[in-house]
Structure 1
């Protein structure tokens, strides 16, 4: 009851905060429209002009500090709102300039007066020149360049989308990511392409703003002369001085933020929109980084100290930003300090215990880890838990994918650094024995050649450590180009994770120990307790069951269907004692699943077969003695013929599957496995009656 009360007590605050953030966009639009329609006092204009400058500085700093494409996805919308804000301020200031300009240079507020007098020395001719130069820089250089980058970037992004989708599919098939992660990455690829189109259109806002600023300046000068001379009986010189300086100050106070925003557009040309509403994006992404708030507050505060500036407006806003940044930093330090105390306490206790127990004990005996990953010092950030290392997430995904597809949970992978390795090297060990080594380069990408690329790439030539395909390490700026050429491009953590996943699957039989078999029986026993209790250990020992399961894994047969496996063992174990004979009986029970594994669907099974003469010779060799073997010449002939048949089979794009008589299957599988691990040997008895068999390549014919 208390938990429910606590939940409902917290929920209104969360909803209120979310609703306020969501209302930021509509409130901003209403404020902009209000400034265009309603007259504003000079003091309020000072605050709004100050806010416009602070907003432009903050946008520029956020664009510089973001690292990922989607970190500032709201930028096209920020560009639109900032442009509308400047134009609405121009309308509001034009109204007050024309209505109150005859009263003096401070008629439209102190900000416009300061920009008109302090920045250009009160000389309206200098002000006009500075204003025109700023517009030329903004219109001809920055805005035009950013628009061109967005236009070209959109083309390359669209061309690279198929390659990116293939890379996502490759990660999904390798078990490095799940369906949900693949869906998010596909959405990110689509959003990245969408962003360039958004930026190409958004840059037109800044270009139109520059043109509008020029026209507004001309209209204000002409309109001010007419209003001053005809309505307020001012002479031409007095009217020209008043209204021109006010217009120049108004134009500069709008064009400087416009120039800053245009610069930010060039910096953040690779961002894209997300599914969040604009209000949530603006408040969540603009005011999230305390460093940005601190720097912006300091800049605004220093501007408020300049003589002639409106001190109250600048100091008020700058002080507020600094206070907010310090508050956020204090909260972050408090959380960090609390976490440090939690982490250090056990370490201190352990150190004290070690000092007190100087004598050797059984705790000093180091047991060998079933699975181990050692990395060089440059790869440590990939596996650093405190830094949320990407490789750690992928390793968790590997274990989960393995458990779902193979049928048991592999041991935990122990990760440690090894200074004896190369800085970018890594080593994968199985029960303390090295089974794989490689190198990975964080910050670079491995472009793997699947065999159909259109051009070569500059970089460090190497091989994919998992499958031995030719590859090259490339810089980040060549990633999209590599995908256009047809390469499969993966990052450093994906390279290590793919290699690790391949080795774990390859050595699945060695990872299945007695502890895993016992845990597997306990898992099956929860659903069908009688099946496990009647079989192990009454009919079959745990050791024999382990050997049967290892034999299946050695031949790439998953053990997910434990009910069928245990049913088959329950049937044949009373009459058989040899694990290999029991493995053959279990394979017959799993025949449909084994066939479906290599030949999905209901199409014909296009397999390799034995020449009748060779098959007869092998049958005779198998029937001689208790330990049948192959004569060396016959063994060499069989191996050579099988390799040639496999090459023809793979050239046809067919799986390397050899179909033989059931009595020969076990012997041939063990004989060929060492030299041809990719070859799978099936027996005719394992093929369901509903599937048609077509022998397309003969061995020994």
Structure 2
């Protein structure tokens, strides 16, 4: 154990001994001087901290110092009442303050106690209480501010994590200080009671047991009581002052001395006004010589400070040009241009109110909710969405980019609402014809005056922020597999390893590398299958990765393991599912067209047969679309992967499921069969 740690433990044990075992006068003097030294160190440290968290141990230290001081009070009281002696320090302090007059000395001591209890201690307690309450009340706002900065790209994930930890520590610190300040108050009350005990019982013991006269007892025990009270109250006063300084200290650029002098003297001209006022006071019966000296010092200080503020170095134009030229030539000025944001949201100048909180925009807060929603739905952490205005776009236009490539765009009218009719041919409401950007449905931009009328007519009315939020959500879902790279996959693996270390070790780095796992997860996300249930996914990979390293096949095995999830995703409350199926002839033709190579397998189908399959499936999908049903194709597990590869080029919206991906209790209803003559 380190010497520092051992010293703290021995100090706590010493406090316990002080409460039980009588101590000699010389040792009490040593401990009293040590108590005063500790109090001085604490207040000096509190004055030199820039923010409260730099002295985060203060609440605990406050408790230990209070206990130490009370232990000293008990020991000195025992010595005073039993031996009429408490060491040289107590006797010296008492004699110095009393100065031959016990009554005057006691009055001075009482004034000191009143200042300590009513001013410093009460004030520190109140400040601690208010600071704790306001810190806790401000936590949600600070958390939202961090999330907004994160989504705006102003800070990184690591910086956001550090800021959140700092907020939590601040809340814990001020909560602890609120409780610790009660110890300071209790210590002040205990000190007053101990003083009364020393005086009353000291007089009784001195006259009854020690055969002292009343005057001798008063002189002796009043001197010792005042001395004991001083050596106790002076450190208590310093600690109470340090408590107030720490709690009221806001983050600054320097310590307390730097901030006080820098901010108090930041307006030198005001010192001339103060000097003139003090000089005018000298024209009254107040000492003219004294006021003139003070006014002169103030005026001189103001003059010197004013000269300092005027001497400011201003670089020449040539130096500025050289600095800018050097900055442009530096490699760092170009390197940052290589960074590419995973997701970008750009908008024209008319849409700035969407993202400006001062104008009522809540887009940043909506993006925070989108990231949380997709983390729950898809099981991945969506990267930060970079939001910026772009003067090259039309005023009402916006566009979305994924890894630098534009993937979607749209237009918004901020002073309108988007109305979508249940019947696409319904034109009862006047408005500007458009299309809903997320799903491409016919819609209209209508004025706010027509909003109520449109809702009564059965229209779905949506405000512009909700329109763009929905569009952004759907685009991120569609491109989630592109956003999941090896680095993001490694983060998911590390997160899973905290709970399932053995499972992760069985899968990676052998037999599957991070890249292999990323391919499997990417294939699932591409078909909008959530990867949130990582334990089941890794269990499946652990079972089948020993048999094959083909990521396409591994993804099929994982899909079958997630049958309960897929069933719930596509069936209704009655566990019913309407599907289109493939005839046995079509499945046989597909199975016979599968080509096996050393790099995997692929579908090589006759173009004529392939086109007929696509045409028939297209007809069946149109029928389901008219009935507002999800287009689902059900086939055997052996060909599902290849059927999906075929449809990705022609009908990417069709969901392809295999029989093994559905639970046994699903009521499958075939509404069409794809066949070839």
**What is the TM-score when the length of structure 1 is the normalising length?**
0.49
Q: 1:373 aligns with which of 345, 368, 381?
A: 345
Residue 538 to residue 619, structure 1, CA distance change in 2 (3 Å): closer
Please give the alpha-carbon distance, in whole angstroms, between the structure 1 residues aligned to 2:322 and 2:436.
46
Please give the alpha-carbon distance, in whole angstroms, between the structure 1 residues aligned to 2:360 and 2:571.
40
Residue 8 to residue 693, structure 1, CA distance change in 2 (3 Å): same
Residue 484 to residue 537, structure 1, CA distance change in 2 (3 Å): same
Work out whether 1:597 is the aligned partner of 2:569: yes
Please give the alpha-carbon distance, in whole angstroms, between the structure 2 residues aligned to 1:13 and 1:619.
69
Q: Over residues 632-673 of structure 1, what are the superposed CA-to-partner deviations in whole Å (9 max), with x where a residue is unaligned?
A: 111111111111111223334432111111111000011112
Work out whether 1:513 is the aligned partner of 2:633: no
Q: Which residue of 1 aligns with 2:172?
A: none
Q: Which residue of 2 aligns with 1:364?
A: 334
Please give the alpha-carbon distance, in whole angstroms, between the structure 1 residues aligned to 2:442 and 2:567.
32
Residue 425 to residue 485, structure 1, CA distance change in 2 (3 Å): same
CA contact (8 A) 1:391 1:494 kept: no
Q: 1:678 aligns with which of 649, 653, 676?
A: 653
Q: Over residues 379-414 of structure 1, what are the superposed CA-to-partner deviations in whole Å (9 max), with x where a residue is unaligned?
A: 112112454522222111111111111001111110
Q: 2:385 aligns with which of 413, 419, 441?
A: 413
Q: 1:9 aligns with which of 129, 132, 148?
A: 129
Deviation of the 1:352 alpha carbon: 13
Q: 2:662 aligns with which of 669, 673, 687?
A: 687
Q: 1:584 aligns with which of 556, 561, 564?
A: 556
Q: 2:617 aligns with which of 642, 652, 660?
A: 642
Q: Which residue of 1 aligns with 2:608?
A: 633
What are the equivalent positions in structure 2 for 1:280-679 lying under 5 Å apart? 357-365=327-335, 366=337, 367-387=339-359, 389-451=361-423, 455-622=427-594, 627-679=602-654
Unaligned runs of 5+ in 2: 1-57, 61-123, 135-320
Please give the alpha-carbon distance, in whole angstroms, between the structure 2 residues aligned to 1:423 and 1:682.
44
Query: Alignment RMSD, CA only?
Result: 2.8
Deviation of the 1:2 alpha carbon: 5.5
Residue 429 to residue 538, structure 1, CA distance change in 2 (3 Å): same
CA contact (8 A) 1:453 1:485 kept: no
Please give the alpha-carbon distance, in whole angstroms, between the structure 2 residues aligned to 1:600 and 1:480.
32
Q: Over residues 501-547 of structure 1, what are the superposed CA-to-partner deviations in whole Å (9 max), with x where a residue is unaligned?
A: 11111111111111211111111111112211221112210000000
Residue 12 to residue 378, structure 1, CA distance change in 2 (3 Å): closer
Please give the alpha-carbon distance, in whole angstroms, between the structure 2 residues aligned to 1:491 and 1:693.
39
- The number of residues matched between the two structures is 366
Please give the alpha-carbon distance, in whole angstroms, between the structure 2 residues aligned to 1:595 and 1:13.
49
Deviation of the 1:446 alpha carbon: 1.2
Residue 389 to residue 672, structure 1, CA distance change in 2 (3 Å): same
Q: Over residues 535-592 of structure 1, what are the superposed CA-to-partner deviations in whole Å (9 max), with x where a residue is unaligned?
A: 1112210000000000011111110110000000001001111110111111111112
Please give the alpha-carbon distance, in whole angstroms, between the structure 1 residues aligned to 2:323 and 2:561.
56
Question: The residue matched to 1:447 in structure 2 has which SS?
Answer: strand
Q: Over residues 227-270 of structure 1, what are the superposed CA-to-partner deviations in whole Å (9 max), with x where a residue is unaligned?
A: xxxxxxxxxxxxxxxxxxxxxxxxxxxxxxxxxxxxxxxxxxxx
Please give the alpha-carbon distance, in whole angstroms, between the structure 1 residues aligned to 2:357 and 2:561.
45
Deviation of the 1:7 alpha carbon: 8.1
CA contact (8 A) 2:397 2:412 kept: yes
CA contact (8 A) 1:565 1:586 kept: yes
Residue 632 to residue 9, structure 1, CA distance change in 2 (3 Å): same
Please give the alpha-carbon distance, in whole angstroms, between the structure 2 residues aligned to 1:467 and 1:413.
21
Moved over 6 A (4+): 11-14, 351-356
Residue 605 to residue 8, structure 1, CA distance change in 2 (3 Å): same
Question: The residue matched to 2:585 in structure 1 has which SS?
Answer: helix
Question: The residue matched to 2:369 in structure 1 has which SS?
Answer: helix
Please give the alpha-carbon distance, in whole angstroms, between the structure 1 residues aligned to 2:426 and 2:345.
36
Q: Which residue of 2 aligns with 1:95?
A: none
Deviation of the 1:478 alpha carbon: 1.2
CA contact (8 A) 1:509 1:550 kept: yes
Please give the alpha-carbon distance, in whole angstroms, between the structure 2 residues aligned to 1:410 and 1:518.
14
Please give the alpha-carbon distance, in whole angstroms, between the structure 1 residues aligned to 2:518 and 2:132.
56
CA contact (8 A) 2:481 2:525 kept: yes
Deviation of the 1:602 alpha carbon: 4.8
Question: The residue matched to 2:603 in structure 1 has which SS?
Answer: coil
What are the equivalent positions in structure 2 for 1:231-242 lying under 5 Å apart? none
CA contact (8 A) 2:327 2:333 kept: no
Please give the alpha-carbon distance, in whole angstroms, between the structure 2 residues aligned to 1:452 and 1:636.
31
CA contact (8 A) 1:591 1:688 kept: yes
CA contact (8 A) 1:445 1:474 kept: yes
Residue 433 to residue 670, structure 1, CA distance change in 2 (3 Å): same
Please give the alpha-carbon distance, in whole angstroms, between the structure 2 residues aligned to 1:12 and 1:557.
46
Please give the alpha-carbon distance, in whole angstroms, between the structure 1 residues aligned to 2:356 and 2:383.
20
Q: Over residues 664-683 of structure 1, what are the superposed CA-to-partner deviations in whole Å (9 max), with x where a residue is unaligned?
A: 10000111123222211111
What are the equivalent positions in structure 2 for 1:101-112 lying under 5 Å apart? none
Please give the alpha-carbon distance, in whole angstroms, between the structure 1 residues aligned to 2:383 and 2:643.
31
What are the equivalent positions in structure 2 for 1:55-66 lying under 5 Å apart? none
Residue 630 to residue 443, structure 1, CA distance change in 2 (3 Å): same
Residue 624 to residue 395, structure 1, CA distance change in 2 (3 Å): closer
Question: The residue matched to 1:527 in structure 2 has which SS?
Answer: coil
Please give the alpha-carbon distance, in whole angstroms, between the structure 2 residues aligned to 1:362 and 1:546.
32
CA contact (8 A) 2:590 2:603 kept: no
Q: Which residue of 2 aligns with 1:70?
A: none
Question: The residue matched to 2:618 in structure 1 has which SS?
Answer: helix
Residue 363 to residue 410, structure 1, CA distance change in 2 (3 Å): farther
CA contact (8 A) 1:374 1:426 kept: yes
CA contact (8 A) 1:426 1:439 kept: yes
CA contact (8 A) 1:450 1:469 kept: no
Residue 435 to residue 362, structure 1, CA distance change in 2 (3 Å): same
Residue 538 to residue 7, structure 1, CA distance change in 2 (3 Å): farther
Deviates more, 1:657-666 or 1:617-626: 617-626
Residue 353 to residue 574, structure 1, CA distance change in 2 (3 Å): farther
CA contact (8 A) 1:461 1:472 kept: yes
CA contact (8 A) 2:570 2:577 kept: no
Question: The residue matched to 2:418 in structure 1 has which SS?
Answer: strand
CA contact (8 A) 1:638 1:699 kept: yes
What are the equivalent positions in structure 2 for 1:138-287 lying under 5 Å apart? none
Please give the alpha-carbon distance, in whole angstroms, between the structure 1 residues aligned to 2:133 and 2:583.
78
Deviation of the 1:427 alpha carbon: 1.0
